[in-house]
Amino acid sequence: MTDRSPLSAAKSRPHLPKALLLAIIVVAQIAGSAQWFAGNAVTADLVTQWQLPQSFLAQVTLAVQLGFIVGTLIFAALSISDRLPARLVFLVSCLLAGSGTLALAALDHQPALFLVLRFATGFFIAGIYPVGMKLAASWFDKGLSIAMSLLVGALMVGTALPHLLRGFLATTPWQTVLIVVGLVSFAGGALLAATVPLGPYAKRGARFDPRAVIAAFKEPDFRRASLGYFGHMWELYALWAYFPVLIAAYLASKGLSAASAVATWSFMAIAAGAPTAVVGGWVAQKFGSAWVARGFLATSGLCCVSAPLIPLMPNWLFFAFLLAWGGACAADSPQLSTINAKSAPPAYLGSALTMVNSLGFSITLVSISMIGVLVTILPAQWAVLALAPGPLLGAWALRASRV
């Protein structure tokens, strides 16, 4: 019996309680998503030891983003998660993404190969995050929005995890962080593959059609949510990539310098979006996804506009500001996805969501490159001001949505 016959499978063998299945998927998602910023967590070490320019941070982030874009399109075009058991796809992707991270630890003054491996890891993350979402959706009908919020939160915690490890392992070689993160990916993939089959609500995806987004954009709410998502993506990954730079600049302005503090606070700023996303999921059930997403976008945009004031903030206010910004900048994502899923024409749902996702990640290539240039000529708090149009315009695009 394969995962492609979920109804029969669910009847023929016992499975764990839904809550435990969801918890396992969340843990596995954290483990797989940790590969995303594994390279970013050690970039400061590489810049010093390999004598690289500061722009290497942008290059590392761009490499993994580009890999994910290419991987997402290929996985969708070949219908890989429909043709093969989803948990097998997840396991193999975790093994390959984790192997790419482990291979980084073996490099010595090889920045070009470092970037190639980052691209490869991003490519295989396309078989982790979306497939984990598919598995969760296959087990939930009612309560799906909460499950999705938890999984988006898992992405944020996983993305932040390498920074936390760098903080705890600050006195060890940078290779240690990569080894731990790679092994975590192996464990997460194995855990999910051993325990989570495809559930009874699984739906086979329609044939991928890149033109579907044109048809979907004729639906007003889909168009509004997509524009909101594009604005969200303009800010999100560039901000996540440069949170460490922003934090280091602030600490330096106060006469403080501690690599462990930068890493720990980077983790907290990125991971702050996880509880906020879950709370947003609960609130959206009463007030609607558009209202919640618009609020988070507006809040994040105002944080961008306020960034030049960071040097004037006392320590407690800066770190509170950092948590508020990190919490708001990512928590709109599950609500924007919910609106798109509800408003896209059913016949084009999978293709339309894939294309919007790919376009959103393509936008991150531009904003990350832009901030990478700006931080070389401006203080970090002024450079990130350029991210403000994204969330503010995104909030404006959602003004008429009532979903």
pLDDT of residue 11: 41
Same domain assignment for residues 149 and 260: no
**Residues ≥6 apart with Cβ < 8 Å to 314:** none
Long-range contacts of range 384-387, CB-CB < 8 Å, 24 or more positions apart? 384/238, 384/239, 384/242, 384/246, 384/304, 384/307, 385/304, 385/305, 385/307, 385/308, 387/234, 387/235, 387/238, 387/239, 387/304
Task: Give the DSSP per-residue string, 210-263.
Answer: TTHHHHHTTSHHHHHHHHHHHHHHHHHHHHHHHHHHHHHHHHHHTT---HHHHH
Same domain assignment for residues 187 and 299: no
Q: What is the DSSP letter of 398?
A: T
Q: What is the DSSP letter of 310?
A: G
> What is the count of structural domains for the chain?
2
Same domain assignment for residues 244 and 217: yes
* 317 located within any domain: yes
What CATH number should be reported for the domain holding residue 187?
1.20.1250.20
For the record, the structure tokens of 3 come out as: 């995962």
Domain boundary among 175, 202, 229: 202
* 247 located within any domain: yes
* 320 located within any domain: yes
Instruction: In whole angstroms, give the CA distance from residue 369 to residue 61.
Output: 9
18-33 and 129-137 helices, crossing angle to 10°: 170
Distances (CA, A) of 299 to 167, 203, 232, 374, 388: 28, 36, 12, 23, 10
Domain boundary among 202, 223, 250: 202
Same domain assignment for residues 155 and 216: no
Q: Whose CA is closest to 21, among 146, 187, 138?
A: 138
Over pLDDT 70: what percentage of the chain? 95
* 285 located within any domain: yes
Same domain assignment for residues 275 and 402: yes
* 124 located within any domain: yes
Distances (CA, A) of 261 to 39, 53, 70: 18, 22, 35
Same domain assignment for residues 131 and 48: yes
Instruction: In whole angstroms, give the CA distance from residue 293 to residue 401.
Output: 10
Task: Give the DSSP per-residue string, 107-150.
Answer: -SS-HHHHHHHHHHHHHHHTTTHHHHHHHHHTT-STTHHHHHHH
SS3 395: helix
φ, ψ of residue 11 in degrees (nearest 5): -80, -30
Burial of 13 (0-12, 13-18, 19+ CB in 10 A): exposed
Same domain assignment for residues 134 and 227: no
pLDDT of residue 6: 40
Domain span at 263: 212-403
* 85 located within any domain: yes
Instruction: In whole angstroms, give the CA distance from residue 324 to residue 378.
Output: 24
Same domain assignment for residues 197 and 236: no
Domain boundary among 168, 202, 236: 202
pLDDT of residue 256: 77
Number of Cβ within 10 Å of residue 345's Cβ equals 14
pLDDT of residue 1: 40
Same domain assignment for residues 116 and 259: no
* 2 located within any domain: no
CB–CB of 161/181 below 8 Å? yes
Number of Cβ within 10 Å of residue 49's Cβ equals 13
* 7 located within any domain: no
pLDDT of residue 206: 64
CB–CB of 383/374 below 8 Å? yes
pLDDT of residue 223: 92
Predicted model pTM: 0.90
Instruction: In whole angstroms, give the CA distance from residue 87 to residue 146.
Output: 21
Number of Cβ within 10 Å of residue 400's Cβ equals 10
pLDDT tens-place values along the chain, 403 residues long: 444 444 344 444 557 888 899 999 999 999 999 999 999 999 999 999 999 998 999 999 999 999 999 999 999 888 887 888 999 999 999 999 999 999 999 999 999 999 999 999 999 999 998 888 888 888 877 777 678 778 889 999 999 999 999 999 988 999 999 999 999 999 999 999 999 998 888 776 667 777 777 888 888 999 999 999 999 999 999 999 999 999 999 998 888 777 788 999 999 999 999 999 989 988 888 888 899 999 999 999 999 999 999 999 999 999 999 999 999 999 998 889 888 888 887 777 777 888 888 999 999 999 999 999 999 999 999 999 999 999 999 999 998 887 7
Same domain assignment for residues 185 and 82: yes
pLDDT of residue 379: 95
Same domain assignment for residues 191 and 276: no
Same domain assignment for residues 101 and 223: no
Give helix then strand counts, H and E, for the chain: 20, 0
Instruction: In whole angstroms, give the CA distance from residue 272 to residue 162.
Output: 15
